[in-house]
Amino acid sequence: MAFPKIKIGMVGLGTVGSGVWKILHRHQALLSQRAGAKLEISKVIVRSKKKKRPVRLPAKVLNSNIQTVLDDPEIKLIVEVMGDVRASRQLALKAFRAGKHLVTANKALLALHGKELFQEAKKNRVDICFEAAVGGGIPILRALREGFVGNRIDSLYGILNGTCNYILTEMSERKTSFPETLKQAQKLGYAEADPRFDVGGIDAAHKLAILVSIAHGVFVDFPKIFVEGIQGITPFDLECADRFGFEIKLLAITKKNGDKIQARVHPTMISKDSMLAAVKGVNNAVFLEGDFVGEGMLYGRGAGSEPTASAVVGDIVEVARNILAKVAYTVPPLGTHAAHIGNAAIEPIGEWRGPYYLRFQAIDRPGVLAQIAKILSEFGISISAVHQQVREEGREVPIVVLTHDAQEKSVVKAIAKINRLKNIRRATTLIRIEEFCQ
């Protein structure tokens, strides 16, 4: 049976783009049967046509002018895997206005300009799909939009950045420092040359913005998401976590709290017995609680050429099926119909209540712990455990305190006061503890 042909223009042929090219060629027959159409990438846009590529493609396919995919009337679908936010936004808006559908892997683009893009896609009755933007090969967005559609999502916890999870796993298992482990991650290709977006939590926050939108049917003002990276975590913190029965993970968290929505990314202590604690190395996972389905977790490879390309191809097939059926926008991209999506009321982090791990760097003198305890109590914070590993009179030592539930703004004020004590030598480390899925 001859299949109708759907021509695709792909912008970018790097890590993800070459994976997409590979899958579409290796699985050409299979994908034709599944999509009901022959999927052909007829143009690929790159910056440099001379660069060596991991895939071979006909010279006539490669081009360096983005406009050529926009101007080609035979191209109905554009796959954007270039990663430049400004250029991608321009490309997306022009594509929609030219009646072309878009598949993108660009989380920053959606976190920063999602609202504008969704509105423009709807106006022009074209699809915008972005499964690869969150969790790489894990189809979490489709699961939230479709499989879990019967549920209110009460909470969601994601390990969404493989670089951070790799670093924390290695630091915990090998007792290595953050800078040393980061270097190792860069050597192995698990961290970028400029790792600030990853280790600073921004990458995870971009992904969280998309998850919050789909989980709760809201637009998110990205700067309102609280973000803290993993740079301040030490092997000592990981050792203490272990002693108290915890693991430290960089978690992206969203929960509903009445009318307010929590959206935060930060290092988090979680029980060693929880399923998320078992997610090691570069892997990603999303644990969620739906009011009817209960607890569930999706796990897998969150980045890399082939897992990410797998998610892009899933989107390509969805769009191809829609093109054949002459429909678009049948599943709203955020899972909620546009007329019913409001702006999220994000709860400020100061309102968060929970237990804390606090590490004070203090000069070991009689009475220091009593001073710390007194200030914590002034702010209504009660202590559940204290740990001081070494005693070296007159030297700087770490003193660890675990608290019962306390409000973040009180904890921050108490720490500010404690940091001013003359026996406190460095800013205090604060790590939030989450109690779930025990």
**Burial track 142-158 (b if 16+ CB lie within 10 A, e otherwise):** bbbbeebeebebebbbb
* Cβ-contact 381, 355 below 8 angstroms: no
Measure the CA–CA gap between 91 and 85, rounded to whole angstroms.
Answer: 10
Given the rule CB under 6 A, which of 40-48, 176-184, 383-391, 398-406 is the region that contacts ligand NAP? 40-48
Q: Which stretch binds ligand NAP (CB under 6 A): 188-196, 279-287, 300-308, 358-366?
A: 300-308
Q: Kind and range of the H or E element at 8? A: strand 5-11
* Burial environment of residue 374 by CB neighbours within 10 A (0 to 12, 13 to 18, 19 or more): exposed
C-alpha 121, offset from chain centre: 24
Least distance (Å) from ligand NAP to the CB of residue 215? 19
Q: Select 48 or 438, whichever has its Cβ closest to ligand NAP.
A: 48
Q: Is 51 in the site for ligand NAP (CB under 6 A)?
A: yes
Q: Which residue in 182, 303, 319, 406 binds ligand NAP (CB under 6 A)?
A: 303
Residue 290 or 304 with smaller CB distance to ligand NAP: 304
Give the contacts of 392 (CB within 8 A, at least 6 positions apart): 364
Is residue 83 a contact point for ligand NAP (CB under 6 A)? yes
CB 319 within 8 A of CB 39: no
Separation between Cα atoms, residue 48 and residue 46, nearest integer Å: 6
In this chain, which residue has its C-beta nearest to ligand NAP? Answer: 14
The separation between CA 17 and the C-alpha centre of its own chain, rounded to angstroms, equals: 20
Residue 46 interacts with ligand NAP (CB under 6 A)?
Answer: yes
Which range of residues in 55-63, 105-113, 184-192, 419-427 is near ligand NAP by CB under 6 A?
105-113
Q: Is 187 a catalytic residue?
A: no
CB 21 within 8 A of CB 61: no
Catalytic residue among 43, 76, 100, 207: 207
The CB-of-48 to ligand NAP minimum distance in angstroms stands at 4
CB of 136 to ligand NAP, least distance (A): 5
In the complex, minimum distance from the CB of residue 61 to ligand NAP, in angstroms, rounded to a whole number: 13
Site for ligand NAP in 116-135 (CB under 6 A): 132
213 forms part of the interface with ligand NAP (CB under 6 A): no
Rounded Cα–Cα distance for residues 404 and 377 (Å)? 11
Confirm or reject binding of residue 62 to ligand NAP (CB under 6 A): no
Q: How far is the CB of 428 from ligand NAP (least distance, A)?
A: 34
Which of 24, 45, 319, 344 is close enough to bind ligand NAP by CB under 6 A?
A: 45
Given 6, 8, 16, 111, the residue binding ligand NAP (CB under 6 A): 16
Give the interface segment with ligand NAP, choosing from 79-87, 248-256, 340-348, 349-357 (CB under 6 A): 79-87
Q: What is the largest CA-CA distance in the chain?
A: 85
- Asked whether position 105 contacts ligand NAP by CB under 6 A, the answer is yes
Site membership for ligand NAP, residue 137 (CB under 6 A): no
First-to-last alpha carbon distance for the chain, in angstroms, is 53
Q: Which helix (H) or strand (E) holds 169?
A: helix 162-174
Q: At what angle do helices 408-419 and 368-378 cross, to 10 degrees?
A: 140
Residue 27 and residue 42: Cα distance in Å, rounded?
A: 16
Region binding ligand NAP by CB under 6 A among candidate stretches 21-29, 43-51, 118-126, 411-419: 43-51
With CB under 6 A, what is the number of residues at the site for ligand NAP? 26
262 vs 284, beta carbon nearer ligand NAP: 284
* 82 touches ligand NAP by CB under 6 A: yes
255 close to 114: Cβ distance less than 8 angstroms: no
Whether 201 and 348 have beta carbons less than 8 Å apart is answered as: no
3-class secondary-structure state, position 55: coil
Hey, which residues between 168 and 207 contact ligand NAP (CB under 6 A)?
none
Complex with ligand NAP: residue 81 or 92, whichever CB lies closer = 81
DSSP state of 133: G
**Smallest distance from ligand NAP to CB 108, Å:** 7
8-state DSSP, 5:
E
The catalytic site residues sit at 207
Chain positions contacting ligand NAP, by CB under 6 A: 11-17, 45-48, 51, 66, 81-84, 87, 105-107, 132, 136, 303-304, 308
